[in-house]
């Protein structure tokens, strides 16, 4: 399939959505190839591990909470968790309060992997944004947060 020529998109709203989508694909690919590939991770797995480690902490986090933190479908979370569990990076445990709920906890191996990858992750993000001033980064972040908040309100 031939990529869309952004120059042929005439409507500002179309161009904004196209640009965000294209940027997502480029960022996903760049992060994978630059920071995560040698660790057998992709950006989705990395983000999932980060949420499990830093939001779930020692108590763990339910799959539904993971979904609300990452905006990933339940089916995708299950596939990602299956892969991470197979690699012994996370473990599922029944909640002591409700045995129907699985809590996801990061393993020592998973936590160590994140510790190992973190410097490379930070260096990659710095490289991605090196051409933007601090003021531009702040402005961009504010606009993206407003856009995200607006979209979250529209999808509730």
CATH number of 114's domain: 1.10.10.10
Per-residue CA distances from 146 to 17, 39, 101, 142, 152 (Å): 15, 34, 33, 6, 10
* Helical axes 74-86 vs 43-51, angle rounded to 10°: 90
Main-chain dihedrals φ then ψ at residue 10, nearest 5 degrees: -95, -20
- Give tens-digit pLDDT for 117-146: 999 999 999 999 999 999 999 999 999 999
pLDDT at 147: 94
Residue 50 lies in a domain: yes
Residue 98 lies in a domain: yes
Residue 96 lies in a domain: yes
Residue 130 lies in a domain: no
The conformational region for residue 40 under phi > 0 = left, psi -120 to 50 = alpha, else beta, is left
pLDDT at 25: 94
pLDDT at 135: 98
Q: Average pLDDT, whole number, for the chain?
A: 90
Residue 109 lies in a domain: yes
Residue 95 lies in a domain: yes
Per 3-state DSSP, the chain is made up of helix, strand and coil in percentages (nearest 5) of 70, 10, 25
pLDDT at 38: 95
Residue 111 lies in a domain: yes
Number of domains in the chain: 1
Q: How far apart are CA 23 and CA 85, in angstroms?
A: 30
- Give tens-digit pLDDT for 26-52: 999 999 999 999 999 999 999 999 999
Residue 127 lies in a domain: no
- Give tens-digit pLDDT for 72-125: 777 888 899 999 999 999 999 988 888 788 899 999 999 999 999 999 999 999
Q: Which domain holds residue 104?
A: 10-122
pLDDT at 14: 87
């Amino acid at each position: 399939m031939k990529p869309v020529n952004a120059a042929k998109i005439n409507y500002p709203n179309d161009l904004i959505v196209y640009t965000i989508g294209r940027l997502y694909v480029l960022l996903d690919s760049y992060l994978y190839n630059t920071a995560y590939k040698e660790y057998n991770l992709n950006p989705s797995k990395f983000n999932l591990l980060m949420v499990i480690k830093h939001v779930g902490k020692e108590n763990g986090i339910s799959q539904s909470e993971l979904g609300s933190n990452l905006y990933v479908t339940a089916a995708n979370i299950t596939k990602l968790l299956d892969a991470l569990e197979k690699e012994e990076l996370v473990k599922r445990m029944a909640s002591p309060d409700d045995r129907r709920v699985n809590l996801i906890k990061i393993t020592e191996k998973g936590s160590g992997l994140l510790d190992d990858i973190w410097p490379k992750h930070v260096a990659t993000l710095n490289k991605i944004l090196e051409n933007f001033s601090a003021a531009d980064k702040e402005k961009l972040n504010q606009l993206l947060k407003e856009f995200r908040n607006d979209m979250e309100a529209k999808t509730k």
